Amino acid sequence: MTESAPLPDQEPAPKGRGAKLATIVVAFGVFALAAGVFVVPALRMRSSEGPQAAASGATSYPPLPLTGYYVVFPSLPDGGQVIAITNLPEGTLYSTSSGNPGSDGFDSFGCCPAVHDGYIGAEGFNDTCNSPVGSIGDSPGFDVSIEVRPDVTDMAISVPSGTSYEQPTQPDSVLAILGEHFENLTGDQVTDLPNGGKELVATASYAWPEPQCGGTTYPLWGDQNCSQGPNPGIDGPELKDAMEEVVGALSQARICEFWLTMLTNDGRAKHPWGPFSDEWLAWYQDGPKDFSDGDPPRSTLTWRTTGTDAESTIVDVLAGGTPVLELRMTNLLDCSYCKASTTPPWHVASWTFLA
141-169 pLDDT per residue, tens? 999 999 999 998 776 555 556 666 678 89
* C-beta of residue 181 within 8 angstroms of C-beta of residue 247: no
Distance CA 272, CA 215 (A): 26
Amino acid at 85: I
Residue 202: inside a domain: yes
β-sheet bridge partners, residue 252: none
Do 228 and 186 belong together in one domain? no
Asked if the structure places residue 1 within a domain, the reply is no
Q: What percent of the chain has pLDDT over 70?
A: 72
Q: In what order do the strands lie in the sheet with 108-114?
A: 36-41, 28-33, 108-114, 93-99, 142-148, 198-206, 190-192
Q: How many domains does the chain have?
A: 2
Q: 253 and 145: one domain?
A: no
Give residue 5's pLDDT: 41
* Whether residue 164 is found in the same domain as residue 52: yes
- Residue-wise pLDDT for 134-144, tens only, equals 999 888 899 99
Q: For residues 152 and 169, is the Cβ–Cβ distance under 8 A?
A: yes
Q: Are residues 81 and 102 in the same domain?
A: yes
User: What is the residue type of 340?
Assistant: A
CA distances from 294 to 76, 92, 132, 134 (A): 29, 42, 11, 11
Whether 317 has a pLDDT exceeding 90, the answer reads yes
Q: Is the pLDDT of residue 343 over 90?
A: no
Residues 46 and 134 both lie in one domain: yes
Domain presence at residue 275:
yes
Position 349 scores a pLDDT of: 92
How many residues does the structure list for the chain?
Answer: 355
Pairing of β 142-148 and β 292-293: unpaired
Over range 113-125, report the average pLDDT.
Answer: 92
Residues 232 and 195 in one domain: no
Residue 2 is assigned to a structural domain of this protein = no
Average pLDDT, the chain: 79
Q: Provide CB contacts within 8 A for 143, sequence distance 6+.
A: 98, 99, 100, 101, 102, 103, 106, 124, 203, 204, 205, 206
Task: Assess whether 185 and 263 both reside in one domain.
Answer: no
Residues 238 and 299 in one domain: yes
Query: Does one domain contain both 84 and 180?
Result: yes
Q: Which of 156, 185, 213 delimits the end of a domain?
A: 213
Last residue of a domain, one of 168, 191, 213: 213
Query: Structural domain of residue 66, as residue ranges?
Result: 8-213
Residue 333 pLDDT more than 80? no
Q: Is residue 105 in a domain?
A: yes
Is residue 3 included in any domain, yes or no? no
Give 290-300 pLDDT, tens digit per residue.
Answer: 999 988 889 99
Domain limit, last residue, from 174, 189, 213 = 213
Same domain, 333 and 208: no
- Based on the fold, state whether residues 195 and 256 are members of the same structural domain: no
In whole angstroms, what is the distance from residue 43 CA to residue 83 CA?
Answer: 9
What is the pLDDT confidence band of residue 21, given thresholds at 50, 70 and 90? very low
Compute the distance between CA of residue 355 and CA of residue 348 in angstroms, rounded to an integer. Answer: 19
Same domain, 131 and 206: yes
Amino acid sitting at position 187: G
Which carries the bigger pLDDT value, residue 58 or residue 338? 338
Would you state the pLDDT for residue 139?
A: 87
Residue 305's pLDDT band (boundaries 50, 70, 90)? very high
pTM confidence score: 0.66
pLDDT of residue 133: 96
pLDDT band at 74; cut points 50, 70, 90:
very high
Please indicate, yes or no, if residue 229 is contained in any of the structural domains. Answer: yes
